[in-house]
Chain A
Amino acid sequence: MSEPKNILIVEDDEDVREALAAFLEGEGYRVVEAEDGRQALVCLRSSSEFCLILLDLFMPVMNGWAFRAEQLRDPNLSTIPVIVISADAGTTQKATALGAVDSMMKPIEFDRLLQAVTSYC
């Protein structure tokens, strides 16, 4: 059996990020947390493989758009699927524009999140 893969959560709001992480860990997944796009790139490049990125859009330092551009530029990272999670009213359109595999608006429906996570990890 192969090594279980990681889920990367990129979210600046600590409360939301920790809740997401605790939930996914509770469901048996391994989770890595990043506060912004720059930290996310560091995580992706330094540790083992990731099966999925949960990406917030509005973040300081490096926002979701800038992160996505960097990710797509790096052939080692570009194929990792991204699910956009945002409180923005236009989340779906923004996620489509970013080429994300899915999007979820905050507050997140956890059953749907779980379904998505199951299909990618």
Chain B
Amino acid sequence: MKRPLAGDAMKLAVDASDIGVWEADLLTGVLRVSERFATMFGLPSGMDVASGGELRGRVHPDDRERVKAAFEAALDGGKDYSVEYRTLDHDGRVRWFSSKAVVVRDDGGRPLRAVGTAADITARKRAEETHAYLAALVESSDDAIIGKTLDAIVTSWNKGAERLFGYSAEEMIGQPIGRIVPPDRPDDASKILAVIGRGERVDHYETERTHKDGRRIYVSLTVSPIKDAAGTIVGASKIARDVTERRLADEERERLLAEAREARAEAEAASRAKDQLLSIVSHELRTPLASMMGWVRVLGQGKLTPERTARALKTIERSGRMQAEMIDDLLDVSRIVTGRLRLNLGQVDLRAVAQAALDAIRPDAVAKGVRLEASLDAGVTIVVGDVIRLEQVVSNLLNNAVKFTPAGECIELRLERIDREVRIVVRDTGRGIAPEFLPQIFEPFRQADDVKLRKSGGLGLGLAIVRSLVEQHRGTVRAESGGEGSGSTFTITLPLSDELVVEPADPEDGSPADIPRLDGVRVLIVDDEMDTCEALGALLEERGATVTAVGSVRDAREALDKWQPDVLMSDIRMPGEDGYVLVRHLRGTSLRAIPAVAITAYHHEEDGDRTAAAGFDACVSKPVEPDGLVVLLASLTARHVAS
């Protein structure tokens, strides 16, 4: 059976506690307070009777109404009095109190007295404020701040975390942190927790996390251990900063750097290739030059027999021709590389092409002691193509065959018709092609020889030109060889022409009888090289033209002031004012309709474009091909007259 505590026991307990006790007689208004209460509220020591008014005066003015209302509510409604309020001391110090009271009533329910307690809760309030402040800091942070247990269960999740990871606090608290760890980084979280478990921090650890929408985000993590009051590590606090933008910027920079490095490496490789190419070209052009100049010097000594003199002259001629062929090949490759090689298409009989190539190679083959066998009867072998280029294709293959076939061996040229295709087969019993070299054989500047063992010489362009030309004719070329020493076979396949009506490839490309006359046509030639003026003048006058030749643009202007030609021919590169200046001048005068032909010394395809842009109607390169020039001038002047 419970017995109430004796009165003195109660008093001892009250005095020992931090709680102040008061009792108010509601009928007399007398307030009795305990010693502790008096101390707490700064009432004079030893006084156990105070007026309620004096006590109320201690309550912070802002809280007085609330305290009063609470007390009155307790008196009226029989509700217990429980209120927290501040006091304002004389020195301005603010303290917090928690006050509770019960109201004792008579049988009629009238309040007789109130008994209450008051406790100083200032420390707790301060702690709460600090906590609220810290919580607000956490909530307002841009960084994600997350608490988790050592089992990786999320215990807190701020707004920053909601923003960064897309999950709300409700979705994450109580859940494993693994939800935001990408599947390809399964050890990430456990490694961090292992460090935390040892009481250490993880600083600025950059890793990846997964957003709720599946997006990959880059974060920088700082993770610290959370210890309980006893110092035991119970979890981890993690601050995650979004570094996606920076990481992407870093990656972009890395990518750009890598690209720049790659571009530089490519440029360097291209530059090396160019240097190597130039050195090959220079070497190969110098070799026939050495022979030519050597023999010229030997002839100059005047000590050769007539037979040796004749041979020397032949050698000089052959070397010159070789060099010219190399230059032509280089120009062809340049046109092919820049996509400027144009075909002059017409109906072409491959039998005639093969025969012409065969006739051209025969002297070389005979000189080397290589036999030529041909089998050209394959029925109709007409294709659409450029007759000159197709002959070049077959000649290149035959040239190679002669070059790589030793004396006494044999080269075979065969035409075959298979369905709607014509095949040209060049087979030799020469040294063949090593299997590892076969795939590169059609690449420009490739020769099977090591550069220091260059056996064959030449630029190594022939087959590259063959392939390009054949492909431009919608055909294919194939090389086969049983390996070194077992000969090679090259097979070109071209589609047969659909139309079997043979028309000349180029109506202007006819016999000398077709070359037109230029009777009465007035031609102004401008060239600083008098040799050119004289040669062109003689050629055109022979065809009936009237020619005036001058050596500079200034002289040309003067001539044009006095005399109107039907056509102007001007060199491009002249000292002082050049051909471009002249044609622009011409186009600005009353003579603007006169056709103008540019003469260029360099065999550049660009010349055609540039001269056209400057106002020339046509462009011819030195050495000028006589018949072609006459045909050109005839057509230009006819058009001019007609218009």
Contact = CB atoms under 8 A, between A and B. Distances in A.
Interface of A: 12-13, 15-16, 18-20, 22-23, 26-27, 57-61, 63, 65, 87-90, 105-108, 110
A20 B290 CA distance: 9
10 contacts: A13-B287, A15-B294, A15-B318, A20-B294, A22-B304, A22-B312, A26-B301, A88-B279, A90-B279, A108-B293
Given A22-B304, A22-B308, A26-B301, A107 B293 contact: yes
Interface in B278-301: 278-279, 282-284, 286-295, 297-298, 301
A116 to B, nearest CB: 15
A23 B294 contact: yes
B9 interface: no
B381 interface: no
B452 A107 contact: no
Contacts of A26: 298, 301, 303-304
Contact of A15 (B278, B315, B452, B453): B315
A90 B283 CA distance: 10
Contact of B455 (A60, A65, A105, A106): A60
Given A87-B282, A105-B286, A107-B289, A19 B455 contact: no
Contacts of B304: 22, 26
Contacts of B284: 87
A59 B457 CA distance: 10
A22 B453 CA distance: 26
Contact of B289 (A22, A65, A106): A106
A106 B318 CA distance: 17
B283 A16 contact: no
Contacts of A58: 283, 451-454
A25 B301 CA distance: 10
B429 interface: no
A108 B296 CA distance: 12
Of the listed residues B318, B451, B453, the one surrounded by the most CB atoms of chain A closer than 10 A to its CB is: B453
B282 A107 contact: no
A2 B454 CA distance: 40
Contacts of B292: 107
Contact of B294 (A89, A105, A107): A107
Given A89-B282, A110-B294, 13 more contacts: A13-B291, A15-B315, A16-B291, A22-B294, A23-B297, A26-B304, A27-B301, A87-B283, A105-B286, A106-B286, A107-B289, A107-B293, A110-B297
Residue among A22, A88, A90, A108 with the highest chain B CB neighbour number at 10 A: A22
A50 to B, nearest CB: 21
A34 to B, nearest CB: 16
B297 A89 contact: no
Interface string B269-281: 0000000001100
Given A15-B288, A58-B451, A58-B454, A108 B279 contact: no
A88 B451 CA distance: 11
A88 B301 contact: no
A89 B280 CA distance: 9
Contacts of B289: 106-107
A22 B290 CA distance: 13
B398 to A, nearest CB: 21
B287 A16 contact: yes
A16 B453 contact: no
Contacts of B303: 26
B298 A87 contact: no
Nearest to A63: B452
B210 interface: no
Nearest to B294: A19
B453 A63 contact: yes
Contacts of B291: 13, 15-16, 19
B294 A16 contact: yes
A20 B457 CA distance: 19
B451 to A, nearest CB: 7
A87 B286 contact: yes
Instruction: Tell which of A13, A20, A87 has the most Cβ of chain B within 10 Å.
Output: A87
Contacts of B149: none
Interface in B213-258: none
Contacts of B454: 58-60
A87 B326 CA distance: 16
Interface in B438-495: 449, 451-455, 457
Task: For the complex of A and B, list the 7 residue pairs with the smallest distance between their C-beta atoms, beginning with the closest.
Answer: A19-B294, A15-B291, A106-B290, A87-B286, A26-B301, A60-B455, A107-B293
B346 to A, nearest CB: 38
Interface in B315-350: 315, 318-319
Contacts of B298: 19, 22-23, 26
A28 B554 CA distance: 56
A84 to B, nearest CB: 13
Nearest to B303: A26
A58 B278 CA distance: 16
A19 B295 contact: yes
Given A106-B289, A106-B290, A89 B455 contact: no
Nearest to A66: B452
Nearest to B288: A15
B457 A13 contact: yes
A31 to B, nearest CB: 12
Most buried by A among B279, B287, B315: B287
A12 B297 CA distance: 20
The winner among B291, B295, B454, B455 for most chain A CB atoms within 10 A is: B291
A58 B286 CA distance: 13
A26 B300 CA distance: 10
B283 A89 contact: yes
